[in-house]
């Protein structure tokens, strides 16, 4: 890590997740001096990993779709080249006590699974409508086109499915796949969520990457001035720019800078930034957040015939939303012959489990894993539990309308720029793009 400066930087970036690190890196490329303030003891946010007994454990995100062009571009610009390789990934969905495999690679290719017995022949024929609609939506909904997304954000996924497909397709294909991606009930999601998600994965299947999904965050940190354990208390505009107050183990600090990027979740923005314009504040406050409960399981032997991803439908009757074979994405993440597999539980289960002890919760989570992968618990060497109270913005009809209004109100000439998942559909790529937009706007403001 670069040595800490004693003089005030040009810009403070609040938040050391991938959005904040991206903004800091792009501003530094422009010749600005930048300090990143991160409240946690490590950077990365949702792209954070830890190490234990030779295993690498991703604390939240694991899969990176090949359509993440901004992530690939950032890696190249930061000196990592292209660290990704294609990852053939089988997808499984449980039905009637058995995991049924789908054809193709990635979520966007599940409609190729003509040979699967997951769906009836009638449902397979109806999938042709989904392909037609996907092509139509691709034309209508350009990349990061928040205005078009807002106009199209008028129908739930379940209503669209009833109108164009059937209940079986919803129950055993669309519902489990969206449930796996967002860990929420897809019935309330916008149809925009469906087609944005399918669009991500049809642009490229998942990618294999270097050990630990934190590889990019750790590399960017080595190029930047990053202070961990630094809890920002307030960001205020001043006549000369911005004043940021924070606290760390050395006490309270204040920095007067020319600009600031706030790259934290919506509730944190509202808490630390009293100068946030009222219209923007109301819109950000209207976006609810969902949590993540993740069980990370180190296995003493690598499983055979386990799909890279198992999307669990609500029809299975449990809170488990997705099982990911993490070692497929990062082959060097476990000792030879061993593996890492994770389970992710949906937000409704998380709320019901609030306050329960970790050991009690892990025991129940292992029972869920055994129900999907029989005998799973017998191979567990150790397990860890990860809780995120506000992991990502919640999905609902009207979200993209809020995003469109919010982004119209954001002033590109402001000395304080915002970056975060509440500005688009939540993903690693969207976070990188959000950081880049904030850096570009603030850089232009500082130049003029």
Q: Based on the domain organization, do 197 and 228 belong to the same domain? A: no
- On the 0-12 / 13-18 / 19+ scale of CB atoms within 10 A, 61 is buried
Q: Based on the domain organization, do 119 and 247 belong to the same domain? A: no
Range of lowest pLDDT (26-35, 135-144, 157-166, 216-225): 135-144
Q: Based on the domain organization, do 164 and 110 belong to the same domain? A: yes
Give the C-alpha separation, 334 to 92, whole Å. Answer: 23
Q: Model confidence at 106, in pLDDT bands (50, 70, 90)?
A: very low
Give tens-digit pLDDT for 327-363: 999 988 999 999 999 999 999 999 999 889 999 999 9
Q: Model confidence at 4, in pLDDT bands (50, 70, 90)?
A: very low
Q: Which of 151, 180, 202 is the last residue of a domain?
A: 202
Q: Based on the domain organization, do 159 and 253 belong to the same domain? A: no
At 322, is the secondary structure helix, strand, or coil? strand
Q: Cβ atoms within 10 A of the Cβ of 95, count?
A: 19
Q: Based on the domain organization, do 29 and 170 belong to the same domain? A: no
Residues sharing a CB contact under 8 Å with residue 282, sequence separation 6 or more, in sequence order: none
Q: Based on the domain organization, do 279 and 399 belong to the same domain? A: yes
Write out the residue range of the structural domain in which residue 273 sits: 11-47+214-287+395-447
Q: Based on the domain organization, do 152 and 283 belong to the same domain? A: no
Q: Check pLDDT > 90 for residue 53.
A: yes
Any domain includes 430? yes
Cβ burial 246-267 (10 Å sphere, 16+ → b, else e): beeeeeeeebebbbbbbbbbbb
Q: Check pLDDT > 50 for residue 107.
A: no
Any domain includes 63? no
Q: Check pLDDT > 70 for residue 2.
A: no
Any domain includes 149? yes
DSSP code string of 34-65: EEEEESSSSSBGGG-EEEETTEEEESS----B
Q: Which of 176, 202, 228 is the last residue of a domain?
A: 202
Any domain includes 357? no
Any domain includes 438? yes
End-to-end C-alpha distance for the chain, whole angstroms: 31
Give tens-digit pLDDT for 55-72: 999 999 998 888 889 999
Q: Which of 202, 229, 259 is the last residue of a domain?
A: 202
Count of domains in the chain? Answer: 2
pLDDT, mean of residues 117-136: 92
Q: Based on the domain organization, do 189 and 238 belong to the same domain? A: no
Q: Check pLDDT > 60 for residue 112.
A: no
In 98-213, beta strands by DSSP E: 98-102, 207-208
Q: Which two tokens stand for residue 358?
A: 């970790």
Any domain includes 24? yes
Residue tagged 């990370």 (tokens): 296
Q: Model confidence at 114, in pLDDT bands (50, 70, 90)?
A: low
Give tens-digit pLDDT for 182-233: 999 999 999 999 999 888 777 777 899 988 999 999 999 999 999 999 999 9
Range of lowest pLDDT (58-67, 110-119, 300-309, 339-348): 110-119
Q: Based on the domain organization, do 421 and 275 belong to the same domain? A: yes
Q: Which two tokens stand for residue 59?
A: 């604390």
DSSP code string of 419-448: -SGGGSS-SHHHHHHHHHHHHHHHHHHHH-
Q: CATH number of the domain that 232 lies in?
A: 3.50.50.60
Q: Based on the domain organization, do 183 and 226 belong to the same domain? A: no
Q: Check pLDDT > 60 for residue 153.
A: yes
Paired sense of beta strands 91-95 and 309-311, if any: parallel
Any domain includes 81? no
Torsion angle defined by CA atoms of residues 211, 217, 222 and 226, in that order, rounded to the nearest 10 degrees: -150
Paired sense of beta strands 11-14 and 259-262, if any: parallel
pTM of structure: 0.94
Q: Based on the domain organization, do 184 and 265 belong to the same domain? A: no
Cα→Cα distances 134→7, 139, 199, Å: 53, 9, 8
Q: CATH number of the domain that 178 lies in?
A: 1.10.3110
Q: Based on the domain organization, do 270 and 419 belong to the same domain? A: yes
Range of lowest pLDDT (27-31, 70-74, 89-93, 160-164): 89-93
Q: Where are the alpha helices (DSSP H) in 93-152?
A: 121-140, 146-152
Give the C-alpha separation, 63 to 50, whole Å. Answer: 16
Any domain includes 342? no
């Amino acid at each position: 890590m670069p040595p800490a400066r004693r003089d005030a930087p040009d810009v403070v970036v609040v938040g050391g997740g991938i959005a904040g690190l991206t903004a800091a890196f792009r501003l530094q490329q422009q010749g600005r001096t930048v300090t990143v303030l991160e409240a946690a003891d490590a950077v990365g946010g949702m792209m954070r990993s830890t190490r234990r007994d030779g295993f690498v454990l991703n604390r939240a995100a694991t899969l990176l779709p090949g359509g993440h062009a901004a992530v690939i571009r950032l890696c190249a610009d930061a000196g990592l080249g292209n660290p990704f390789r294609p990852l053939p990934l089988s997808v499984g969905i449980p039905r009637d006590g058995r995991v049924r495999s789908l054809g193709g690679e990635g979520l966007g290719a599940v409609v190729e699974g003509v040979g699967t017995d997951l769906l009836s022949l009638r449902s397979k024929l109806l999938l042709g409508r989904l392909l037609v609609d996907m092509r139509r939506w691709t034309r209508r909904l350009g990349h990061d086109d928040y205005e078009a997304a807002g106009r199209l954000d008028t129908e739930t996924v379940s209503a669209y499915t009833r109108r164009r497909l059937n209940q079986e397709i919803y129950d055993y294909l669309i519902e489990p796949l969206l449930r796996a991606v967002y860990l929420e009930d897809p019935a309330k999601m916008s149809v925009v969520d469906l087609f944005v998600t399918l669009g991500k994965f049809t642009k490229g299947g998942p990618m294999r990457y270097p050990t630990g999904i934190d590889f990019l965050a750790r590399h960017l940190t080595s190029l930047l001035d990053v202070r961990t354990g630094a809890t920002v208390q307030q960001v205020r505009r001043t006549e000369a720019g911005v004043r940021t107050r924070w606290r760390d183990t050395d006490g309270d600090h204040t920095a007067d800078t020319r600009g600031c990027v706030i790259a934290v979740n919506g509730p944190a923005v509202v808490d630390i930034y009293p100068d946030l314009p009222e219209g923007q504040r109301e819109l950000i406050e209207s976006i609810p957040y969902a949590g993540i409960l993740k069980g990370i399981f180190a296995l003493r032997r690598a499983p055979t015939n386990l799909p890279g991803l198992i999307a669990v439908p609500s029809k299975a009757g449990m809170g488990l939303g997705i099982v990911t074979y993490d070692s497929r994405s990062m082959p060097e993440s476990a000792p030879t012959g061993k593996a890492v597999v994770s389970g992710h539980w949906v937000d409704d289960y998380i709320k019901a489990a609030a306050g329960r002890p970790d050991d009690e919760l892990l025991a129940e989570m292992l029972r869920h894993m055994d129900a999907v992968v029989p005998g799973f618990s017998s191979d567990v060497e150790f397990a860890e539990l990860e809780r995120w109270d506000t992991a990502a913005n919640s999905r609902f009809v009207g979200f993209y309308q809020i995003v469109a209004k919010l982004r119209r109100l954001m002033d590109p000439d402001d000395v304080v720029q915002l970056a975060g998942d509440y500005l688009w559909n939540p993903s690693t790529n969207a976070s990188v793009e959000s950081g880049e937009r904030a850096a570009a706007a603030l850089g232009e403001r500082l130049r003029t």
